[in-house]
Amino acid sequence: MLGGPSAEREVSLRSGAAVAAALRSLGHTVSELDPRTPDWVLPASTDVVFLALHGTYGEDGAVQKQLEKLGVPYTGCDAEASRIAFDKVLTKQCCIEAGVPTAKFVAVHSAAADFPGNLSLPLVVKPTRQGSSVGLQFVERGEDWPTALAVALQFDSEVLVEEKIIGRETTVGILGGKVLPVVEVRPKAGSYDYANKYTAGATEYFCPADFDAATTKNIQAAALGAFRAIGGRDYARVDVMVRADGAPVVLEVNTLPGMTETSLLPKAAAAAGLSYAELCQRMIELALDRKSFAPSRRQISATRVSNSGFISAALRLCGFV
């Protein structure tokens, strides 16, 4: 499933096309379904749904609920974990309860709200329920507050306002309950906003990131802690800021991260020794492991090409099976 009705539709179409091509290269029979309206119908004899949707409807648990009613396995987190992770305020509350480090914050619902007296400049303002940095605003001076709040509220009825963490920006992929190598993100200009994410050459990526072993371990532990705090399963990508002293601060959890071949989760998987196609294969295997109807599993196994033994061996070598 790709595309969908969200503000991230174009990115989702790119993710879905890349995933479909990879799965076909492994010998799977793949149908592409664009759920622009909720009256979509799955193709007959669907064994598993690969969710390449981003943003509202795809990541907020809505499509997951529909698939659960149909009894069809799908990739990624379940409906409840998706709902929590898509809501940045709920995610932060879960992190706080679990002892996972995150920035101080408040939730704001009105464009007329006063500057939060318990927070210090600079601040980050972003819609509570959006992805891909949609509506992201920065408040460097007090006079920036009204405009930043008004812009962010165009994308949701609630916005998250948090202290801006000064440091290095990283992201950690999680696959099958195991952390992948840390990716560091360095925009060449400005912040890692929507434009810098999706403009070729606008951002540099380093994987594995150049941290010492102890700092790397702490970053990965914070990411895995956040993933578990929201009830995640199978895979996700957790964004983590790293202060100058090496302390990690979790920003958010992305349950359906970008899946173009240059996206961050595939970069991390590649650094762990998994090709893009192997990553996609692993994702559907994790979903199929939840399906008790054995004939469907045998059916999809029969479609694999002759290199499937190599793929399984590579997964075992990297510790994913």
Active site residue 191: no
Q: For residue 133, what are the CA distances in angstroms to 17, 26, 85, 127?
A: 22, 33, 15, 9
- Is-catalytic flag, 237? yes
**Quick check: is 252 catalytic?**
yes
Q: Which one of 132, 196, 218, 263 is the catalytic residue?
A: 132
Of 83, 237, 282, 285, the active-site residue reads 237
Residue 169 to residues 53, 206, 211, 250, Cα–Cα distance (Å): 24, 11, 12, 10
- Of residues 87, 234, 239, 285, which has the active-site annotation? 239
What pairing do the DSSP bridges indicate for beta strands 168-175 and 178-187?
antiparallel
Catalytic residue among 252, 263, 278, 282: 252
Q: Determine whether 254 is an active site residue.
A: yes
Contact 86, 59 (CB under 8 A): yes
Whether 6 is a known active-site residue: answer no
- Is 45 an annotated catalytic residue? no
Identified catalytic residue from 4, 8, 47, 196: 8
Task: Find the catalytic residue in 133, 158, 192, 198.
Answer: 198
Containing H/E element for 79? helix 79-86
Active-site position among 82, 131, 258, 276 = 258
The catalytic residue among 156, 254, 263, 282 is 254
Tokens for 192, please give them: 């890692």
Residue 147 neighbours by CB distance under 10 Å: 13
Choose among 275, 280, 245: nearest CA to 28: 280
Q: Would you say the C-alpha torsion 279, 284, 287, 292 has a positive or negative sign?
A: negative
HSE-CB at 54 with a 13 A cutoff on CA atoms is: 23
Task: Judge whether 8 counts as a catalytic residue.
Answer: yes
Distance of CA 203 to the CA centre of its chain: 18
Question: For this structure, is 31 an active site residue?
Answer: no
Instruction: Catalogue the active-site residues.
Output: 8, 132, 198, 237, 239, 252, 254, 258
